[in-house]
Amino acid sequence: MKRRIIVAAAPEATQYKRGDTGDNIMQLQWTALLVLLMLAPQAGARPDCDKLACDEVKQSIREIEARMRAGYSRSQGERFDARLRKLKRKRSKLCR
């Protein structure tokens, strides 16, 4: 009886060259990241008009608070309070 020795050729680890697929995937990931960063809205970037409106509202609040420190009647106090509530709501929307 003869012994048969079967020698199988070792298959290649991958069918691609080393680094070929990894480099392509990494390049696609970087490209996708750059595209997303360019298309994403700027965080914290607000138009100047929002900043100006915010500053105006803050100034109005300061003025009313200064007038309230100087003294006021009951009817004036109610108007001041109503105006302050309205301005503070506006400030919370504009000044983020």
What DSSP assignment string belongs to 16-79? SPTTHHHHHHHHHHHHHHHHHHHHSPPTT---HHHHHHHHHHHHHHHHHHHHHHT---HHHHHH
**Residue 73 falls inside a structural domain:** yes
Closest CA to 53 of 93, 86, 83: 93
Burial class (CB in 10 A: 0-12, 13-18, 19+), 57: buried
Q: Is the pTM of this model over 0.75?
A: no
**Residue 7 falls inside a structural domain:** no
Q: Is it the case that residue 72 has pLDDT exceeding 60?
A: yes
**Residue 25 falls inside a structural domain:** no
Q: Could you read off the pLDDT of 7-41 as tens digits, one per residue?
A: 555 555 555 555 556 678 878 887 887 777 777 76
**Residue 36 falls inside a structural domain:** no
Rounded Cα–Cα distance for residues 42 and 45 (Å): 5
**Residue 16 falls inside a structural domain:** no
